[in-house]
Structure 1
Amino acid sequence: MVAFEDYRLEDRAVLEAADPLLRRLAGAGARIRVEAEAAREPTSLLDEAIRPRAVIAVGSEARLVRSLLEPVCPVPMMAWPGPALPGWVGPLDLVVVLAAHGGEQSLVHAASEAVRRGCQLLVAAPESSPVAESSMSRSTTLLTTRTSDPLAAVAVTAAALHALGLGPVLDLESVAGALDRVAEECSPWVDLSSNPAKDLALSMADTEPLVWGGSVLAARAARRVAEALRAASGRPALATDAEALMPVITAAEPRDPFADPFDAPITDRRPCLLLLEDGHTNELLAVARRQLEGAAEMADVRTCKVLQDEGSELLRYAVLLQKGLYAAAYLAIGLNRLQDPPSDW
């Protein structure tokens, strides 16, 4: 098993070797701007007066779109796993296809079926991709994607749904600007003492993270961050609700204050509680958070927090996710596990 070496987070040669991953993370805001510009014309042609009976979203980020729309959408909205559409979907409904990469066979099937049934379609996919080609019809609006970034595809799709009167107001430039600020704060050239992502990676270096987000969007960000932490470290990382996390925290073995940390086996890892907070709370969530923090304190489990409580729903989600992805990247750097970073970081 490889030990975390914190010097790697400040070593210029190591950080330069990690440039492809860190550069992709830093470009998140720019990718939203690229996709927003590409989607400007087709979005301007959308007609709010043509209201569908229901909205059915398919694709890897369909649940994120549903979470953004549900509070304000005037018609029923659902995220569907596919590939076959629900039997009741027809010409009165809008099918939203999120295919940032454009080649997913299940989405090709879903788009083809929506065309066959005469549905309205809103498709985010690369031009000339299998998904784009299979979705062509007189009732299709294609938002041509150029960056293969799922979050950027969601951003322009949500903006298009607002133009249809189905989603909240979105300022994509503010989202892009917030991601630019995360890139500045978490830059590899910002040292450990001032870099929140490096500090978070160091806090999780010898642990098995437990990630919790209270709201619907924070919980979704927690699942994505846990996926990134698993890929970065090759260790378990769990994201679930407070009720499921409590037994893991309370079962943690008591820490021996007199133990020599250098004598502990490298496989003997304690949990670490990572809280993602977006400012949306109610009494139930507040109680769950206090219970988690109290249990962690009683079990001497380290607790870390990432907070973003300003901005739109999409902005808060994007910032929580991006800070988590930066922390995962620095965890991979410290563990020297940069051979195969995920392509969608």
Structure 2
Amino acid sequence: MLDDTLLDDPAALRRADHDRALLALAGSGARVRTALRLAEAAGIDRLRPDGRPRAVLVAGHGSALTAAEMLAALAGTASLVSPLPPADAAPVPRTDRATAPPVFTAGLAWQLPGWAGPLDLLVVSSADGGEQGLVALAEQAYARGCAIVVVAPEGSPLAGAALQVRALPLPFVPSALSSDSPDDGTPPAAAYAAEPDLPAEDPAALWSHLTPLLALCQKLGVTQLPYDALAATADLLDESAVRCRPDAAAYTNPAKGLAARLAGTVPLLWAEGPVAGAAAGRFAAQLADRAGRPALAGPLPQVLTAHRGMFTGQLGAGADPDDFFRDRVEEPDPLHLQVLLLRHIPGDQPSATPAGPGEPDDGPAEVPADDEGPRSFGATRAHRLAAAHDVRLTEYASRRADPLHALADLVALTDFAAVYLGLAAQS
């Protein structure tokens, strides 16, 4: 059950936020700037590519794969960008049985596709740098003649292996927050891990994976981003952090409003376009990780047929919240569907131009249900389907002209909403 009062109590939110996820998200803009500066220091500006690679393979797990999916959305059909998830896992022996068991991800294994070769680029990205499977993958790519880039913490085994396979090493920017106990005496985040070898991922790690990846692909011509797109993205993330800060009241904080709207529902995350699709996939993962909530995500128009059965089942209009015979004391409130439609509607203003509060380009805005603005046939059909089955549909749209800035808008909003929903539900 959602505790509505906690959302408007900044002190209670800080106490409930044991691993300081809100602070980590607030520092996303700073991590983009730091990652960009370190990538330039590592030599990205000095690259003189002969041409665009045939394919860009991005290997990793968690938000590293999410970053690959976002790169694919931004690159479009001009370049082949393929996320490379782990194919297997093996146990990792403990060297000291008195210590905690090794993290599960250390035993993951990856495999290059059979067609990968000298025309392709492999990017290996890790927040830990201790995955032996990624080290083996880099060695395999080196034997095949692939160009290799490694994003990993300095001093990690993966960063050391980058030198052995003649890869371009790019540093991974960790969170500035310490893993020690906060000043208020709250136990460290590790104490709250449900599985010792499956720790929660830093919610802002996405930007430490995505920033060097975009800086590299911008240099290689895989994406067509403006030269200052990443620097402006950091500013937009700062603005989102101000709008979604814990001490902003729920009626002015869009992330708190979205969290309250999703409470007690099964969200269907529908997206129009590749940018919104990447944001919807990220939101589904964050709802599972930070709020423990299931959500189904997919692009229009495919979801209209894929999710049709949800509207006619027990979660649709057939579940009557006003059932006279329901025991309202002993029985919990029934779950219902909630459709969240994410869209990118480029406006007339360039995205790098600052917009004042209340202007259409000031972050993603909730589109009123009675808005008669231009919609695609898929979006119109989505509204009709939801209305026909008495299912609430909420639409959020970013009007940034630049796709990367629209992506940052939607991801920042939904990341904060997932964290707020998880904090309020666990209290």
TM-score, normalisation: structure 2: 0.70
**Partner SS state of residue 222, structure 1:** helix
Structure-1 separation of matches of 2:339 and 2:213: 33
1:228 and 2:232 equivalent?
no
Alpha-carbon spacing, 1:243–1:131, altered in 2? closer, same or farther (3 Å) = farther
| Aligned twin of 2:82 | 78
**Partner SS state of residue 119, structure 2:** coil
Amino acid at match of 1:162: Q
Task: Write the mapping of 1:195-344 to structure 2, written as runs, cut at 5 A.
Answer: 195-240=253-298, 241-251=303-313, 252-254=316-318, 256=320, 263=328, 265-266=331-332, 268-279=334-345, 286-336=376-426
| Aligned twin of 2:248 | 190
Q: CA deviation at 1:267?
A: 5.5
Structure-1 separation of matches of 2:128 and 2:396: 29
Amino acid at match of 2:29: G
Contact 2:122 2:149 in 1 (8 A): yes
Amino acid at match of 1:24: A
Q: Once structures 1 and 2 are overlaid, which stretch shifts more, 3-12 or 94-103?
A: 94-103
Structure-2 separation of matches of 1:216 and 1:40: 28
| Aligned twin of 1:172 | 230
Contact 2:9 2:247 in 1 (8 A): no
Structure-1 separation of matches of 2:152 and 2:393: 39
Amino acid at match of 1:202: A
Q: Once structures 1 and 2 are overlaid, which stretch shifts more, 170-179 or 44-53?
A: 44-53
TM-score, normalisation: structure 1: 0.86
| Aligned twin of 1:62 | 68
Contact 1:95 1:122 in 2 (8 A): yes
Q: Once structures 1 and 2 are overlaid, which stretch shifts more, 260-269 or 116-125?
A: 260-269
Alpha-carbon spacing, 1:115–1:178, altered in 2? closer, same or farther (3 Å) = same
Amino acid at match of 1:169: L
**Partner SS state of residue 155, structure 1:** helix
Alpha-carbon spacing, 1:16–1:54, altered in 2? closer, same or farther (3 Å) = closer
Alpha-carbon spacing, 1:276–1:105, altered in 2? closer, same or farther (3 Å) = farther
Alpha-carbon spacing, 1:139–1:320, altered in 2? closer, same or farther (3 Å) = same
- Going by fraction, where is helix more abundant, 1 or 2? 1
Percent sequence identity over aligned pairs: 33
Amino acid at match of 2:84: W
Q: CA deviation at 1:215?
A: 1.4
Contact 2:138 2:165 in 1 (8 A): no
Q: CA deviation at 1:108?
A: 2.2
Amino acid at match of 1:39: A
1:130 and 2:194 equivalent?
no
Q: CA deviation at 1:333?
A: 2.0
Structure-1 separation of matches of 2:321 and 2:426: 29
Structure-2 separation of matches of 1:201 and 1:273: 13
5+ long unaligned stretches in structure 1: 338-345
Structure-2 separation of matches of 1:237 and 1:304: 15
**Partner SS state of residue 376, structure 2:** helix
